[in-house]
A and B are shown apart, each in its own frame.
Chain A
């Protein structure tokens, strides 16, 4: 009996570390860096940091839904690139700003829907299903663009990527707006509760009358939508959409979510944690640049943080039996 209690205590400690470790780590990191270089805590730098995080941040917000439901999505970079190409192409044909954006978002959503069907109905593990989708989407994009970037300057569109509103860059507003909506949906709605339930235990949820396929598919659609949104913002920033845009975004987005502390096994976590994960990654890049540290160290450091963050979660679960 005693051994059981000791084990429970140990488990509690690990889970606590996982829950608060990230925040503490983040704050510590910021403190250390602000001591190392005063340029870090300036308003200008912070805004810069936030703006650079926005694109990944938007994707990571959608990715949080997918990971909470117990799956992964590697196709977000490809969806972002595809949507960017769609919106610039339509604008090039003289379509309205709103119309072009809506169509691009719909495209992202539809690809997400396809991902969802593969995972929920055909039962392909999400890692493989979305991996396959990456190649298909990238291939389609290359066909569509002929391998060439699509460029075009449109004032209103460009404003989305480079403009400011109340001194805050628009991409940052979109990022935080997305987080707020995602937070409200996940914590305050029936839908959000069921996403957590399906991720926590799909079979038990099914036996409680939840139509798990609906939730599994819809989170991919949300993710596709957010990836498309990120792709649109990127295209607006650069006024260009290239077929290779968004490469590496999938891993960065997943990394942000897991560093933030959302569990890879599903059912636990929150978008607020994802913000921390996103900022953590950006702070590393930003500060390492400020300090003139070799960029390759960043990769190693990032990798270690990911392993540590997920490691705590996985190990706590292992010893909890």
Chain B
């Protein structure tokens, strides 16, 4: 089989963090190649580079043997590479046919040739066995139908390589099966498919070969017939059944301790369905699950940032109504949000102002802000958390990711919280800062707080947690006591559902 796309030594960094390291990959013409890897492994970045949305920092791409340089998605499309992203690129208020031809409208002397576009639309629809009405408004279509439009878009540009990024996340069983038929149909037409997914069952069903990425490195490419689920998980997590991870504090069960928070039947629209669990004093409870499983929604609901949830929350046995972040804080709950840049910090403000924002009331002298008190607090947290700072008056936006995260954490120090929630605290942070953050999390737990720790990095979850809850589609599907479980088991539970 000849190769249609070749990657040699592809590297990419974002803000000092290496996201792709020396990727060598060969994709054969007419195959369905699946790309697997944990969140943050580099899958999306790889796709963005192939699709022309980003330029690699190093390495070369070859299309059909000739060097490939794309500087925009349009250019990539003109060379036959079409990408269907998770966040679909359709205009919701326009109709189906307009969207399929978006940016490449057929026209005669500047006047839209609607007849021609409708004709081609019907042809493609017949070819793929789709039946979405020509003038259907996109915002009235289901996600599955919107995806089909994206596929029509890809086919209408005569793409030879179609890349799909997690296409099945919002599809029902029957819609998924239809999608698989479509993929096999496209393959029959000689197209090459790159398929990114977490869903091992699906991947094993339709892919010819599987490539596994881990922490920006290419672990390997395998023929689907030669590998099974457990084998893939082992490659993705880098661990076998017997683990060898350095544990940060002695692992034990905290179920004998007082319950610091009890959640009962928490539901939020389609995102969370009757989530119930207990959190014990001094425990680090890991929350694992795929993107979209509802982890962040759970964190935000517990913090009062997401309203409209139903269900009860009990803090130290007492039922509390948490309808706003202020109420959550007053009940003793703190949150280090997933989106630290936009939700955790005020980027244009000075570091010390960000650090003191929650506890400002305590730093007043005779009703006025006391800069002295604020700076004293800043100095104290700087030392305790190891924040690398030239001075307190620097704007937070100039700090590195790791230091920014420490500033977010510093907001919650000395607050006598009962519970603190960390949502993906180490995303986009360098290794050294990660270790610092882990130590900080363990510190909170050692002080007697209940800690909820959300992470997509299974190794981290295994290292830090005393107990792990696995979320899938808004439900808790597994509970693992970490005294006996290991990374691979978590991985299995997360991916298997």
Residues of A within 8 A of B (CB): 1, 4, 8, 187-190, 192-194, 196-197, 200-201, 203-211, 267-268, 320
Contacts and interface: CB of A to CB of B under 8 A. Distances in A.
22 contacts: A187-B369, A190-B364, A193-B353, A193-B357, A197-B346, A200-B346, A200-B347, A200-B348, A200-B349, A201-B346, A203-B343, A205-B346, A207-B303, A207-B335, A207-B343, A208-B325, A208-B357, A208-B358, A209-B358, A210-B326, A211-B324, A320-B397
Given A1-B16, A193-B360, A197-B346, A206 B305 contact: yes
A267 B303 CA distance: 25
Contact of A268 (B303, B328, B348, B398): B348
B472 interface: no
Contacts of A194: 360
B361 interface: yes
A133 to B, nearest CB: 28
A188 B365 CA distance: 10
A268 B303 CA distance: 28
B344 A204 contact: yes
A121 to B, nearest CB: 14
A114 B53 CA distance: 46
Contacts of B353: 193, 196-197
Contacts of B344: 204, 207
A8 B395 CA distance: 13
Residue among A4, A192, A203, A267 with the most chain B CB within 10 A?
A: A203
A22 B349 CA distance: 21
B342 interface: yes
Contacts of A268: 348
Contacts of B324: 206, 211
A203 B368 CA distance: 25
The 5 A-B residue pairs with the shortest CB-CB distance in the complex, in nearest-first order: A200-B346, A201-B346, A209-B326, A188-B368, A209-B329
Given A1-B16, A200-B347, 16 more contacts: A4-B15, A8-B398, A188-B369, A189-B369, A190-B360, A190-B361, A190-B369, A194-B360, A197-B357, A200-B349, A201-B345, A206-B324, A207-B344, A208-B325, A209-B328, A267-B348
A211 B397 CA distance: 24
B332 to A, nearest CB: 12
B367 interface: yes
B411 interface: yes
Given A204-B343, A267-B346, A189 B15 contact: no
Contacts of B326: 209-211
A20 B14 CA distance: 32
A307 to B, nearest CB: 22
B346 A193 contact: no
B30 interface: no
A189 B347 CA distance: 21
Interface string B331-373: 0000101000011111111000100011011001001110000
B410 to A, nearest CB: 12
Residue among A190, A196, A203, A208 with the most chain B CB within 10 A?
A: A208
Contacts of B368: 188-189
A262 to B, nearest CB: 12
B333 to A, nearest CB: 10
A157 to B, nearest CB: 34
A190 B346 CA distance: 16
Interface string B303-336: 1010000000000000000001110110000010
Contacts of A210: 326, 357
Contacts of A196: 349, 353
Contacts of A207: 303, 305, 325, 335, 337, 343-344
Contacts of B303: 207
How many of chain B's residues touch chain A, expressed as a range? 20 to 34
Nearest to B326: A209
A209 B325 contact: yes
Nearest to B341: A204
Contacts of B398: 8
Contacts of A193: 353, 357, 360, 369
Interface in B392-411: 397-398, 411
A188 B370 CA distance: 8
B411 A208 contact: yes
A219 B248 CA distance: 49
A203 B337 CA distance: 11
A204 B342 contact: yes
Nearest to A267: B348
Contacts of B15: 4
Residue among A4, A192, A200, A209 with the most chain B CB within 10 A?
A: A209
Interface string B218-245: 0000000000000000000000000000
A8 to B, nearest CB: 7
A280 to B, nearest CB: 24
Contact of A201 (B329, B342, B360): B342
A214 B38 CA distance: 42
Contact of A206 (B325, B349, B397): B325
A187 B344 CA distance: 23
Nearest to A211: B326
Interface in B449-475: none
Residue among A188, A201, A204, A207 with the most chain B CB within 10 A?
A: A207
Nearest to B360: A190
A188 B346 CA distance: 19
A204 B364 contact: no
A94 B377 CA distance: 57
Residue among B15, B328, B343 with the most chain A CB within 10 A?
A: B343
Contacts of A190: 360-361, 364, 369
A214 to B, nearest CB: 10
A188 B348 CA distance: 19
B349 to A, nearest CB: 5
Contacts of B349: 196-197, 200, 267
Contacts of A206: 305, 324-325
A187 B326 CA distance: 23
A182 to B, nearest CB: 15
Contacts of A197: 346, 349, 353, 357
Residue among A8, A200, A268 with the most chain B CB within 10 A?
A: A200
A4 B347 CA distance: 18
Nearest to B361: A190
